[in-house]
Structures are given as C-alpha cells and as structure tokens.
C-alpha cells in the first residue's frame, strides 16, 4: 500500500513556523474586530508565501546549500556582503532570541487554557513551570539532531494544530457563502489597513525562507526532486493559511467583544460552544507555541552556521551552541515574565529592513544561471515576484514606522 506521507518534506516545519502564537493572536484580533471581511488578506498572504518559499526551497535544493551560505558565496566580497550577512545575523539570530520568550509563553497559555496556571513561587517570585516543560521538549528534539525525527514530530503537531482550530471554526457554524466571498473579494473596512498589513506580515516571515532552504536539502539531494519539493511547499503553506483562516472564523463569532488574545478567545468561546471549544483552542495554541519554540532556534542556528561559515550538521558544536543559547534565553524570559522591549524593537526594525532586502536578493538569485541553470525564474515568476517584492517593501516600512511610533 502506498505511503501517503512518503513525500512529505520540510513543509510541515515551515507551516508550523509561521503559525506561531503571534499569528494566532493577530488572527484572533482580526476576526473579533472585522469578522470575515479580512479573510482575503490571508488568501493574499498564502499566495505571497508560496512564491517566496518555493523560490527559497528551489535555491536550497538545486545548490544544496542553506540560503545564508548561498548569500556568502554569491554576493561579491566587500561592504555589501558584510552588510547583508550582518543584517541577516542581527535580524534572525538576535530577533529569534528576543521572540523565543513569546513563542514559549504562547505554548504556556495553551496549557493554561486546559488546566491550572503552572505557576509556583521561589522566594516569593512567581515562576511558570510550563516554560521549563516546553523548553525541555524543544531541547530534547533539537539535541537528537535528526531531521527525520523533527519531520515526523512536526507532522503530528501540525495535524493536532490544524484539527484543533478547524474543529473550533466548525463549532461556530459560519456562513459558508460569506466565507467564500470574503476569502476572494477584497474589502477595506474603516481602520482596517494596519490589520491587513499585520495579517500579511505575520505569514510572510524572513526566517522561514532561511529555514526552508536549509531543510529542503536535508530531505532531497537530486534536482529531479524539485516537483516533490514544490508540492510539499504549496500544500504546507495552503494548510497553514487555512489554519490561520480558521482562527479568524472562530474569533468572528465574538465580533465586537473585548478579547485581546488567543487565550481570551478560548475563555470567551466556552460559554457559547461548550468546553470543546476551550480545549481545542488550548491544544492549538500549545502546538503553535511549541513548534515555533523549536523552529526559531533551529533557523537561527542554520543562519549563524551559513553566515559565519561554521562546521555543517545538526550535531555540530556551534550549531548546538547557537540554538541552546536562544532556547535558554526564551525559557528564562517566559518563566519569569520578562519582556526585553528594546531588543524586540531592534529586532523588529532589523526584520523590517531584512524582509524586502532578502525578497529582492531572492529574485536576483533565482535569475542567476550560474547558480540555478535551467531552474532559474521564468518571466511569469519574475512578474509575480516583483509584485510580492512591493508587498514586502510595504510590510517592512510599516514594521519600522510602527516601532518608531509613527504608525
């Protein structure tokens, strides 16, 4: 009997990476504030993410290198290469270290929705024990250093996350025709522009591009596997986008209520749709948190490895040291409720600059015959990619202006 999971690759990890606690929160707020009307923004996000992730995966598979390695070898020596590699290191490594506490905290909120708070006191200081549980699971999976193990674990977690949010959306009994209409016909309710940008921005994530390019050559070694890698990317991104849509749909049933987080969504849905809704949201949020808590340090380690030309391999000393530092910082920040605001703001600015820069470089790399040969971009892909580049410029500008307090 044919194994339906045989050709599943790193797509599961990529889908899990962009459906983190931040995405769930943004989608919750979008649903509560605007109902179904911004579902089309998620459709746009799915298309943009497929284009960018397919390009990154194609470059990784054909070159058999991670994206940061490709940048180091393809960019001309000098100030430009140093600037771009430095920007990548700052945005991805430092950024993921700052965000890791939020990833773990998101998983903690999911567990808290299922039961008790998990808080204990050390000399009067509240400490969240769930943070150590999530950090411990992430540590074990990363330390094993086996791509196939990660792939299988993430497949299970993505299925759990998908079922959790899909069931929650179904429980709210949405109007299917309204869903379809709002998924494909753009509308711009009053004061919705920033939310539209946030929905696209939480899906089109720079570190996923680096993670995908690095993971795809762990799974496939031959250029003839490119169609399988492309299918894996498309299916995973669409699935991830649909999960995000389900969060919006579930939150839409509380239109106008004062809910400001995914955990609040779980509490608010329970009186309306029973304890099943709370458990589904809790499990989904836990899965979103723990998957992002694993992929963020993993991506940072791959980036550091490529930018600094370090020893290759999931079990190499510096690779492990990088993800260990990020995971340790994340657990510490989450356990003690610390929010490194200034570091997060710096990371947001760095990512705001990096997103359009790396999108532009991806287009350049995808057209280099010396790198990709006959697998370079077609004219149609270039046209679509340039449109996506424009979107990334808008997203990056918005992120920077937001941090500076202009928006």
Q: What is the pLDDT of residues 279-295, one digit of tens each?
A: 888 888 899 899 999 99
pTM, rounded to two decimals = 0.90
Burial (0-12, 13-18, 19+ Cβ within 10 Å), 119 = middle
The predicted pLDDT at position 263 comes to: 67
User: Is it the case that residue 346 has pLDDT exceeding 70?
Assistant: yes
DSSP 21-77: HHHHHHHHHHHHHHTTTTHHHHHHHHHHHHHHHHHHHHHHHHHTS-HHHHHHHHSPT
- Beta carbons of 202 and 22 less than 8 angstroms apart: yes
Q: What is the pLDDT of residue 339?
A: 78
Which of these ranges, 62-71, 261-270, 281-290, has the smallest mean pLDDT? 261-270
Mean pLDDT of the chain: 87
The arithmetic mean of pLDDT across residues 256-273, rounded, is 69
117 versus 285: which is more confidently predicted? 285
Residue 123 has pLDDT above 90, yes or no: no
Would you say the C-alpha torsion 182, 179, 10, 352 has a positive or negative sign? positive
Is 236's pLDDT higher than 70? yes
């Amino acid at each position: 009997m044919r194994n339906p999971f045989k050709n599943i690759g790193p797509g599961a990890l990529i889908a899990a990476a962009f459906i983190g606690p931040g995405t769930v929160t943004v989608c919750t707020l979008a649903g509560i504030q605007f109902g179904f009307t911004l579902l089309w923004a998620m459709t746009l996000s799915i298309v943009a993410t497929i284009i960018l992730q397919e390009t990154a995966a194609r470059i990784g598979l054909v070159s058999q290198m991670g994206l940061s390695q490709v940048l180091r070898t393809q960019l001309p020596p000098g100030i430009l290469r140093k600037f771009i590699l430095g920007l990548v290191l700052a945005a991805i490594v430092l950024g993921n270290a700052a965000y890791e506490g939020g990833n773990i905290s998101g998983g903690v909120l999911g567990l808290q929705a299922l039961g008790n708070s998990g808080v204990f006191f050390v000399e009067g200081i509240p400490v969240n024990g769930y943070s150590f549980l999530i950090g411990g699971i992430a540590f074990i999976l990363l330390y094993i250093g086996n791509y196939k193990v990660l792939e299988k674990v993430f497949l299970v977690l993505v299925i759990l996350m998908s079922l959790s949010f899909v069931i929650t959306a179904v429980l709210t009994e949405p109007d299917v025709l309204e869903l379809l209409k709002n998924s494909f016909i753009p509308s711009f309710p009053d004061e919705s522009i920033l939310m539209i940008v946030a929905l696209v921005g939480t899906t089109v994530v720079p570190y996923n591009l680096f993670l995908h390019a690095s993971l795809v050559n762990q799974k496939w070694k031959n250029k003839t596997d490119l169609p399988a890698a492309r299918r894996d990317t498309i299916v995973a991104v669409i699935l991830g986008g649909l999960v995000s849509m389900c969060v919006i749909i579930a939150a839409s049933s509380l239109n106008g209520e004062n809910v400001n987080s995914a955990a609040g969504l779980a509490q608010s849905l329970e009186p309306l749709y029973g304890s099943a809704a709370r458990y589904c949201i809790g499990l989904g949020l836990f899965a979103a948190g723990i998957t992002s808590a694993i992929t963020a340090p993993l991506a940072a380690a791959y980036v550091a490895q490529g930018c600094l030309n370090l020893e290759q391999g999931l079990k190499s000393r510096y690779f492990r040291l990088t993800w260990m530092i990020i995971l340790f910082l994340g657990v510490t920040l989450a356990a003690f409720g610390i929010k490194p605001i200034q570091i997060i703001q710096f990371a947001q600015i760095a990512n705001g600059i990096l997103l359009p820069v790396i999108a532009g470089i991806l287009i350049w790399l995808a057209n280099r015959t010396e790198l990709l040969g006959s697998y370079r971009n077609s004219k149609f892909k270039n046209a679509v990619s340039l449109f996506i580049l424009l979107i990334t410029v808008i997203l990056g500008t918005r992120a920077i202006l937001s941090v500076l307090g202009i928006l």
